[in-house]
Amino acid sequence: MAMASAYGIRLRVASGVPVVEVQGLWEPSYAGQLVEMIGALASAGHYEIIVNLQRAATHGAAAIQSLWSVAKAIRSHHGHIDIVGTADQVDHLSGRAAEGLFRLCTSEASALRRIKRVPVCIPGPTVTARPAAPYRTP
C-alpha cells in the first residue's frame, strides 16, 4: 500500500468549497502550481477558495505574492481567497491582506463560516430575558 507524500499541494473540498492545502517546506515551484490550481478553479466557476498554509513551513509571503494576479481576477467576480494560517503566519500576512485581495483566518472552520455566511456564536456572558408579550390589537 503506497502512502501519500506529506509534502506538496493538495486539493480537496470542504462543505462544497475548494480547499488548496500546502504542506511541508515551501519550494519555489509551489508558486506556479498554486497559481495554476487556483486559476483552474476560478475558470471552473469557483470564486470562493480557501488556501490553507497551516502545515506549510512558510510565513506565507511567498505563497500569496504569487497569487496577486489570480486574486484580482477572483475579486472581479466578487469572490475571495481566504488564507488560513497559524497565528504567526496571519500576523506576518496582515499587512499584505490590507488591499482586500485576501481574507485571513486562523482556522478552516472560520473561513468556511465566513464563506457560507453562517452566523458565528461567540461565547459571552449569559443573559436571561423573558419573551415579550404578544401584541394585541385593542
Give a yes or no: residue 132 inside a domain. no
Grid coordinates 510565513 are at which residue? 59
Which burial class, exposed, middle or buried, applies to 118 when counting CB atoms under 10 A from its CB (0-12, 13-18, 19+)? exposed
Does the reported pTM lie above 0.85? no
Give a yes or no: residue 53 inside a domain. yes
Give a yes or no: residue 74 inside a domain. yes
pLDDT in tens, 46-89: 999 999 999 988 766 767 888 888 999 999 999 999 999 988 88
Give a yes or no: residue 104 inside a domain. yes
Lowest mean pLDDT among 9-13, 66-70, 134-138: 134-138
Q: Which helix (H) or strand (E) holds 56?
A: strand 56-57
Q: How far apart are CA 106 and CA 41, in angstroms?
A: 23
Give a yes or no: residue 38 inside a domain. yes
Backbone CA torsion sign across 9, 56, 64, 84: positive
Give a yes or no: residue 135 inside a domain. no
Q: What's the total number of domains in the chain? A: 1
pLDDT in tens, 25-45: 888 888 899 999 999 999 999
The CATH number assigned to the domain holding 54 equals 3.30.750.24
Give a yes or no: residue 46 inside a domain. yes
Give a yes or no: residue 65 inside a domain. yes
Contact criterion met (CB below 8 Å) for 102 and 96: yes
The yes-or-no verdict on residue 117 having pLDDT over 90 is no
Q: How far apart are CA 77 and CA 73, in angstroms?
A: 7
Range of the domain at 53: 8-108
